[in-house]
Structure 1
């Protein structure tokens, strides 16, 4: 099947685009490179102590160096832990390519088609999990640069496989299936790696998948509303107009369309139903903000130094505080709505809400769907753990020269890890609500039911 291309131009890359490219559902094509070429031309004319080009880095910023760029890559190509999944590494390559097209790095634009080839041909660098603190993904991008230089092997199109370094120099298109190579100049070493592309890739993947799940959660909640005979009164437009948060209003409107209520015998339902629009709406609002912040940086020149006009501007655009703060809020909001999902699941075990036997059993004393609560609470505990804020910490490194860290890398990694436990909470509620609507069944293992529910949630 032909994959639709994502045109990278340094301005329009979305979280959805990053997800499509990362998971091989789309190829990339490099758009006009005018800004990248202008920055490269300007960088070649720079004189004086330009950080990373004519000086060392970190605490060595005042030390003049010559031709040390490749050694910088070798010294920084370090990491620990397992290799990141190919889809995450591929997404990182696409993000860095798009950032370079935004201009400002001064990197030779001839590398752009080589990076595009790597993405489309399925080559990814062997990036390790640990090695960044939200002030640039130096280890991941130094590893990438050494792959381009032929000093480290790429992981090949077959997941987890490794290919040789290919031709010594020239176009990556020079042979069918040839590994991408590019003779990155020493002075381009620091500019190439001065980016949070891996962190932003993880953040984009997480935002896209969580968007799908928050949307799917409305359908799951509608099943529970119907199974429990919950009142639609809290969803009324008049209620939303009295407190006009955009996410709340959108959730209530969507759920009104999904839930055709009958008469309710209860004056008020528990919070899992009565406050669903408020809590889930807050999660939608948090996601909207996180997505805006992430997409701003996907298309920004977060370079240090920034080559603009004929000057190099030393700056802190690489710092990830906005992304880290937005992702901290998103993970906290996700826990809130998942907790209400677990609360609705509890009502589905209660005869007062379903009119049947306890735990949706088919006979008195049977366990029915009781175990779903255990599974959901286990997943919810994991989600709560992952929601711990990263932005309350910091780090001081490089002899005190770098005296703060944003830890967006950890925030993005934890946001990605939130996908699985949140899916499980939703799947448990879906299985229980479906059973409540369809009628009780004899006791049997429910693993297959959960797997089917998870599969449905993973299919947009």
Structure 2
């Protein structure tokens, strides 16, 4: 088996596999076991419809409030194609490429359990699309996160029937042109397939996992940058002592204190005697605040890994038990609540970061006002703090929970919705803002650190500072700091701790 493929079947995926899928640009495939399960389920459904005149929701009936409208056998393909077309009502910004890729991968994964009734050709085409960089154009707005992510998933699957739009190798195409290039034929959807494709939580799940991947990276950076600020502000290391954290042993708190101790090890600045008895909370309580966000991250990650390893369409089919059951696995409530929690946790990382920026430019602890030698003539780092404060305030507004909202749809058939899709896209905006705030703190902290010379910080921090100075020089006179901030953001993206 090639390591460039991620095999998909009923075996649970883990977080590292999902990170690798994107980082190493892996392809996807299904296993022989998954192929057999998909085929067996489809055969069962075909036999069931042939032998009985029974009504099965969405298979030979209308959808939502139209659940009791019987559809003639000759019209079942048209029914499923109409479903995709009618539900493709997305608006707003385009979903980013990596999230589209995760949506396809997670949809394939969900179908491999053999409980959805799709034909194997449909799954193969999704794989072909993924592996050949044929990515549907999907929009961020339109899902209530209740009957699954109906609108986004309809846009995801329109290309199966030669409709919608796709991006391929950086250009926009009509799927018909792509089908000619690859000599593909449109998929002729069978009963239940359209519903299986658009019922599901793959939009929320893909956004959630992408948010978690970014949060994981930024939580590591948050400790590193906080440690730089800690030394730049000439803080006492006493609050990092392991004895303190053993008395309140939250995992994230204990690990954060240990992380900062390791980063600051052998720092000449940290070792020198301090004038102050205690430091502000934004420094003294880094383990408690960062740690709480890390614990939240772990909780949310468990929810999302459970979700991507689940079947979330409706109805679900159990060939071995001769059952076709209607339910609500597509409802995004677990994800909506978790996404709102992650939003709050990551917003707090940005909030405490901005407070450290503020302290660093305040002229305390023998640092010059606004970290510039001739303040007054030069504004120095006065306004980057404004930018960070604006981002923090925006995040506070974005943290209003989406999950407490609901609005009725489908003529009151779908009378409680999760708003998980809104929670997902809001969470991404928050995390993007946190990255900018941390970049500003990094820029500010390394500027402040220069004023501690000739004392040196730890080897770890000095090495990072040397690398950063290759991209951004010390600021000894006013210049356009937008450029420095953008370089700092890119520095966070292009460097890791692996």
Q: TM-score, normalised by structure 1?
A: 0.92
**Other-structure match for 1:146:** 158
Q: Summarize the Cα distance change of 1:42–1:240 in structure 2 as closer, same or farther, 3 Å threshold.
A: farther
In 2, the alpha carbon distance for the partners of 1:241 and 1:37 equals 55
1:274 aligns with 2:284: yes
Unmatched 5+ stretches in structure 2: 452-474
In 1, the alpha carbon distance for the partners of 2:374 and 2:83 equals 70
In 2, the alpha carbon distance for the partners of 1:456 and 1:252 equals 24
In 1, the alpha carbon distance for the partners of 2:254 and 2:185 equals 49
Does the 8 A contact of 1:306 with 1:314 survive in 2?
Answer: yes
The 5-angstrom pairing of residues 78-117 of structure 1 reads 78-117=89-128
Match for residue 41 of structure 1 among 13, 38, 43: 43
Greater shift, 248-257 or 57-66, is seen at 57-66
Other structure's SS at 1:6 match: strand
In 2, the alpha carbon distance for the partners of 1:194 and 1:231 equals 55
Other structure's SS at 2:249 match: coil
Match for residue 76 of structure 1 among 77, 83, 87: 87
The 5-angstrom pairing of residues 342-361 of structure 1 reads 342-353=354-365, 355-361=366-372
Match for residue 326 of structure 1 among 334, 338, 349: 338
Match for residue 445 of structure 1 among 480, 489, 495: 480
Shift of 1:17: 4.3
In 2, the alpha carbon distance for the partners of 1:389 and 1:164 equals 38
In 2, the alpha carbon distance for the partners of 1:154 and 1:14 equals 31
Shift of 1:218: 0.8
**Other-structure match for 2:222:** 217
Shift of 1:178: 4.7
Other structure's SS at 1:416 match: helix
Does the 8 A contact of 1:89 with 1:125 survive in 2?
Answer: yes
Deviations 1:91-120 (CA, angstroms, capped at 9, x unpaired): 211110111113311111222221111011
Aligned structure 1 segments of 4 or more residues deviating by more than 6 angstroms: none
Does the 8 A contact of 1:20 with 1:26 survive in 2?
Answer: yes
Does the 8 A contact of 2:116 with 2:313 survive in 1?
Answer: yes
Does the 8 A contact of 1:360 with 1:369 survive in 2?
Answer: yes
In 2, the alpha carbon distance for the partners of 1:248 and 1:349 equals 27
The 5-angstrom pairing of residues 419-458 of structure 1 reads 419-439=431-451, 441-458=476-493
1:13 aligns with 2:13: yes
The 5-angstrom pairing of residues 9-408 of structure 1 reads 9-15=9-15, 17-18=17-18, 21=21, 25-32=25-32, 33=34, 34-46=36-48, 47=52, 48-66=54-72, 67=76, 68-135=79-146, 136-150=148-162, 152-165=163-176, 177-178=182-183, 181-260=186-265, 261-262=270-271, 263-308=273-318, 309=320, 310-353=322-365, 355-365=366-376, 366-408=378-420
Deviations 1:433-460 (CA, angstroms, capped at 9, x unpaired): 1011123622222223212211121123
In 1, the alpha carbon distance for the partners of 2:109 and 2:362 equals 52
Shift of 1:296: 0.9
In 2, the alpha carbon distance for the partners of 1:280 and 1:13 equals 27
Does the 8 A contact of 1:70 with 1:189 survive in 2?
Answer: yes
Shift of 1:271: 0.8
Q: Summarize the Cα distance change of 1:15–1:204 in structure 2 as closer, same or farther, 3 Å threshold.
A: farther
Does the 8 A contact of 1:69 with 1:188 survive in 2?
Answer: yes
In 2, the alpha carbon distance for the partners of 1:70 and 1:275 equals 56
How many residues align? The count is 451
Shift of 1:182: 2.2
In 1, the alpha carbon distance for the partners of 2:64 and 2:433 equals 39
Other structure's SS at 1:415 match: helix
Does the 8 A contact of 2:100 with 2:136 survive in 1?
Answer: yes
Q: Summarize the Cα distance change of 1:77–1:153 in structure 2 as closer, same or farther, 3 Å threshold.
A: closer
Greater shift, 364-373 or 194-203, is seen at 364-373
Does the 8 A contact of 2:398 with 2:430 survive in 1?
Answer: yes
Other structure's SS at 1:156 match: strand
In 2, the alpha carbon distance for the partners of 1:435 and 1:217 equals 17
Deviations 1:19-49 (CA, angstroms, capped at 9, x unpaired): 5545772222222313323332332233422
Q: TM-score, normalised by structure 2?
A: 0.85
Q: Summarize the Cα distance change of 1:180–1:213 in structure 2 as closer, same or farther, 3 Å threshold.
A: farther
Greater shift, 204-213 or 261-270, is seen at 261-270
Other structure's SS at 2:99 match: helix
Does the 8 A contact of 2:255 with 2:291 survive in 1?
Answer: yes
In 1, the alpha carbon distance for the partners of 2:289 and 2:255 equals 12
Coordinate RMSD, CA, aligned: 2.2
